[in-house]
Structure 1
Amino acid sequence: MALNARDEVFDQATIDNRAASVGHLFRDRVAKTPTAEAFRYPVGESWESLTWSEAAVRANAIAAGLVDLGVQLEDRVALAAATRLEWVLVDLAVMSAGAATTTIYPTTLASDVAYIVSDSGSKVVIAEDATQVEKLRSHRHDLGDLAHIVVIDGEGDGDWVITLSELEERGQARLEAEPELVNERIDQLTPEHLATVIYTSGTTGRPKGVRLPHSAWTYEAAAVDSIGILDGSDLQYLWLPLSHVFGKVLLVLPLQIGFPTAVDGRVDKIVENVAVVQPTFMGAAPRIFEKAYGRITMMMADEGGVKEKLFHWATGVGRKVSELRQEGTEPSGVLALQHSLADKLVLKKVQARFGGRVRFFISGSAALNRDVAEWFDAVGLRIIEGYGLTESSAASFVNRPHTGGYKFGSVGWALPGTEVKIAEDGEILLRGPGVTAGYHQNEEATSEALDSESWLHTGDIGELDDRGFLSITDRKKDLFKTSVGKYVAPSVIESMFKGICPYASQLVIEGDGRKFVSAIVTLDPEAIEGWAAQNGMAGKEYAEIVSSPACREMVEGYIDELNSQLNRWEQVKQFVILDHDLTVEEGDLTPSMKLKRRVVTKKYAEELDALYTD
């Protein structure tokens, strides 16, 4: 055992003795627990499972099939699909074959797909369906070294496109002739071999391919394992896009630790599925928690009367208990009795909505509103916020779920083995085994991000407290100065608003070089339906509801509440409510639901400019 400066005990041997590659890690897991459940996946209205040995049979067949297609060590294989079992199996197969997965979101435009396939030098693309295949066909002459397409759902063409089942059949035939084929490929892998190329969804210009070796993923898995927050008895619910680094790191943890994972990328099924699957933990973007918070609090407000009063009493008791636990102590006496009663009457019912077994959620990819986090903790559903970048293999910092190991408003402590320092201008710098060696075929971007001492310049502004907790202030590039010379951190304000207004979907703060701060507001389509029904607009179209004087008055009340918590120069003086929400499909948000600020402010420049005409 080892000890961090903050007195956290962790297992250094786990990190020191980590596997040589993800292929080794997968093979070791299959050998350790061959009959244990590995993955659970939906089939119609029910769920089916694969054991680790069953998963290995399929993954090895796919790996051998890729070898049969001519895939060599470190060749890139692109994967364009939503989160599903086949994504998992293909990714494991690619790395077991010694190749590297190039991740592509299924929502990516055809021109960008062509750029990523060409820039990465991908030899094979695994495409989810005919829609993804057509993107490739439409840019067939722009795909560089691409030799084969493998389609998961759909038909082959007998030439360029084959099906995943056909690939598996080829692999099985190859393994019958050469049983040790995949093992031999795994044995050739070293920690330095390339495992993954993830293209960052930049707001301007072409995306950059972040090169992550096997050592980055095995370090992440071992470092999380070393702090003991998860074990083999856990059950993960995984819906996040696996093309994103947050989802990808959650896919490598079960290989190290051995817990099963339920996989289903359908966002509209999350609430329904967690009640059935009953996971012990789940990763999510803040928007998921904000929506759940808004929906539950509005339901209670609609109930009114005794039920609403009981709900507020119970969550009030929960908050007192949460405050004690943040200080490292447990409730006693009258408060302990009250909490037991509140738990029985109210809090357990809220927990049951999420399956009733959740030990903690993990929030990442964007800032989580502190009020939302504290409310969840009050009802017995702890959210531990973490921090990292694609360039740091996702997890660099994370709060610990145990008493005394977390601090709301922070992203927690560094993982063992990760170094951090704050530059003179407040920028967070990271160094460690999880940090990329650079961008694919982009030395200029690499030299901008990594200095001569291997420190990654994150572009985020933050502060470290005396206990080692890191707090993120904002993106360096998002900070702006008003015309009166005052700096404003927009994401902090935007996060605050989502904790105040239960109907909010997005708030986009603007004011760079302007005389005051303004905002674009969008409202959650589901939440606003309930408000409309209570305000004489039941059944009306979304655009009509949000453009009504009553709706503007409602939003203005929440803006006033927000302004009461801000410095004068940060306060929102004018705002516009859009007649539609911001979406991933329209390019306003990244697939991980992060706001593309520059895209949105440019897109709605005319509406923003109109707020400054007086």
Structure 2
Amino acid sequence: MNLLHPSAKVVDAATGETLTPALIDAAAASLKDQPLVFLPMPATVPAVARYLAALRLEKPVVLLDPDTDHTGLIARYTTGEVHPDLALLLTTSGSTGDPKLVRLSRAAVLANAGQVAESLGITGDDVAITTLPLFYSYGLSVLHSHLLRGATVVLERTGLMRKDFWDAVGAHRVTSMAFVPYQYEMLRRLRFDPAKHPSVRTITQAGGRLRTDLVTDFAGRMDAVGGRMFVMYGQTEAAPRMACLPSALLDRKLGSVGQAMPGGAFTVSDDGEVVYHGPNVMMGYAETAADLARGDDLGGVLRTGDLGRLDEEGFLFITGRMKRMGKVFGVRINLDDVERQFPVAAVAGDDRLHVFAEDLSADEARALRTKIADWLGTHVTGVDVRTIEALPLLANGKTDYRALEASL
């Protein structure tokens, strides 16, 4: 599989190093005897070269966080055969927190790269910059979709809170940036003004629900300079993008994550679960080395675990997670509804609702507890409010609910 268009470029913002065919060839020579490639994936040219070499050789790649010890995971999956269609394995976690791998075929990876490129209108004139880890599916999809269309990807490692990042945006005339919700909160605090970065034409959002007021805010900022904002929805299990809402429809469909990617479709099951049908759906999970030899278990149909609804025009609105439910005095509550109503992170346990909020005084915590109880129509003893300096985040910027549960 070759994702690399002949005109595509990859450049390191800090060192100026660029990706060359010779680097990919050298990486390929070092991988020829490896049936399965375990690849820590920092945002560096050598890592990208090694990744593209493995894909070209049709050797399955397990992408890993370079700052985490994966000794146990590597030992678990080293032995065993691999299916000939298998291209990419990305880590995810089950309900127990034990890591497992999402099995993606070459066809799924290529299909989604094309879907994203088509939805965003990516051309060879575009320049993207790394705002997210490349081992994270959203960050990886930026790399895939731009390389496929002959665009440029700038590798930047300091992050948007640093001057070096914005210097790189200007120096390389970056046209596109991808952010997850917590980064939009950071951009708001930074008073991001796209007029100060005239090359930037497109910003995208995925990786969780972004508050509608922030969608409206940033869409307005981009519109004021003739730019665009896209809201996207996906999961690692879909390689990873499933839906896109373009900037022209943000006002009319505010709160929606858009329509299905080209070639895909959504349905909603009788119990309210969003089901995606498309060529980019994973083959299935791998929990043991033996699973690497399995074929396609899903047949292009992914039960997302998300609750949602489709309007009459096929636009999807996500309303929560099937597993993000709790009970307070026997009454079922949707934890995502609580978070939409109040600026908190909510988890359930022992017949109580536990909410975590950043930097509240004791009086503010008591007032919030009363407000939540009144909103739920339950007694205040069913609600526990805890103040926390900062919410724990996963590498992808989402709230680490397991860490919160462990603190109860």
Alignment partner, residue 407 of structure 2? 604
Alignment partner, residue 30 of structure 2? 65
Alignment partner, residue 258 of structure 2? 412
Q: In the superposition, relative to structure 1, how do residues 404 and 247 fare at CA in structure 2: closer, same or farther (>3 Å)?
A: closer
Q: Is the 8 A contact 2:91 2:99 kept in 1?
A: yes
Give the distance between the partners of 2:107 and 2:259, measured in 1 at CA. Answer: 21
Q: In the superposition, relative to structure 1, how do residues 271 and 553 fare at CA in structure 2: closer, same or farther (>3 Å)?
A: farther
Alignment partner, residue 303 of structure 1? none
Q: Deviations over 1:344-363 (max 9, x none)?
A: xxxxx82245x233323221
Answering whether residue 55 of structure 2 is matched by residue 95 of structure 1, we say yes
Give the distance between the partners of 2:369 and 2:189, measured in 1 at CA. Answer: 19
Q: In the superposition, relative to structure 1, how do residues 562 and 64 fare at CA in structure 2: closer, same or farther (>3 Å)?
A: farther
Larger Rg: 1
Answering whether residue 212 of structure 2 is matched by residue 373 of structure 1, we say no
Q: CA deviation at 1:77?
A: 0.7
Q: In the superposition, relative to structure 1, how do residues 270 and 281 fare at CA in structure 2: closer, same or farther (>3 Å)?
A: farther
Answering whether residue 198 of structure 2 is matched by residue 356 of structure 1, we say yes
Alignment partner, residue 397 of structure 2? 593
Q: In the superposition, relative to structure 1, how do residues 216 and 453 fare at CA in structure 2: closer, same or farther (>3 Å)?
A: closer
| Unaligned runs of at least 5 residues, structure 2 | none
Give the distance between the partners of 1:569 and 1:445, measured in 2 at CA. Answer: 46
Q: CA deviation at 1:212?
A: 0.8
The residue correspondences of 1:313-328 to structure 2 (distance < 5 A) are: none
Q: Is the 8 A contact 2:158 2:165 kept in 1?
A: no
Q: In the superposition, relative to structure 1, how do residues 351 and 553 fare at CA in structure 2: closer, same or farther (>3 Å)?
A: farther
Alignment partner, residue 11 of structure 2? 40
Q: CA deviation at 1:573?
A: 5.2
Give the distance between the partners of 1:453 and 1:390, measured in 2 at CA. Answer: 16
Q: CA deviation at 1:115?
A: 2.6
Alignment partner, residue 251 of structure 1? 143
Alignment partner, residue 114 of structure 1? 71
Q: Is the 8 A contact 1:520 1:575 kept in 2?
A: yes
Answering whether residue 326 of structure 2 is matched by residue 490 of structure 1, we say no
Q: In the superposition, relative to structure 1, how do residues 421 and 456 fare at CA in structure 2: closer, same or farther (>3 Å)?
A: same
Q: Deviations over 1:426-459 (max 9, x none)?
A: 111122211111122559999xxx9876522111
Q: Is the 8 A contact 1:229 1:401 kept in 2?
A: no
- Partner AA of 1:243 in structure 2: F
Alignment partner, residue 433 of structure 1? 279
1:289 to 184, 187, 198: 184
Q: In the superposition, relative to structure 1, how do residues 405 and 399 fare at CA in structure 2: closer, same or farther (>3 Å)?
A: farther
Structure with bigger RCO (C-alpha 8 Å, 6+ apart) = 2
Q: In the superposition, relative to structure 1, how do residues 455 and 98 fare at CA in structure 2: closer, same or farther (>3 Å)?
A: closer
The residue correspondences of 1:144-183 to structure 2 (distance < 5 A) are: none
Q: In the superposition, relative to structure 1, how do residues 554 and 452 fare at CA in structure 2: closer, same or farther (>3 Å)?
A: closer
Q: In the superposition, relative to structure 1, how do residues 248 and 282 fare at CA in structure 2: closer, same or farther (>3 Å)?
A: same
Alignment partner, residue 193 of structure 1? 85
Give the distance between the partners of 1:85 and 1:560, measured in 2 at CA. Answer: 50
Alignment partner, residue 351 of structure 2? 514
Alignment partner, residue 21 of structure 2? 56
Q: Secondary structure at the match of 1:82?
A: coil
- Partner AA of 1:433 in structure 2: P
Q: CA deviation at 1:514?
A: 3.1
Q: CA deviation at 1:391?
A: 1.1
What percent of counterpart residues are identical? 23
Q: Secondary structure at the match of 2:397?
A: coil
Q: Is the 8 A contact 1:389 1:395 kept in 2?
A: yes
- Partner AA of 2:205 in structure 1: S
Answering whether residue 45 of structure 2 is matched by residue 77 of structure 1, we say no
Q: Is the 8 A contact 1:429 1:457 kept in 2?
A: yes
More helix by share: 1
Q: Secondary structure at the match of 2:115?
A: helix
- Partner AA of 2:313 in structure 1: R
Q: CA deviation at 1:380?
A: 2.6
Q: In the superposition, relative to structure 1, how do residues 78 and 257 fare at CA in structure 2: closer, same or farther (>3 Å)?
A: same
Q: Is the 8 A contact 2:369 2:383 kept in 1?
A: no
| Unaligned runs of at least 5 residues, structure 1 | 1-20, 122-143, 146-189, 297-348, 499-506, 524-545, 584-588, 606-614
- Partner AA of 2:194 in structure 1: Q
Q: Deviations over 1:593-614 (max 9, x none)?
A: 222323312x221xxxxxxxxx
Q: In the superposition, relative to structure 1, how do residues 270 and 231 fare at CA in structure 2: closer, same or farther (>3 Å)?
A: farther
Give the distance between the partners of 1:356 and 1:431, measured in 2 at CA. Answer: 38
TM-score (ref. length: structure 1): 0.58
Q: CA deviation at 1:567?
A: 5.4
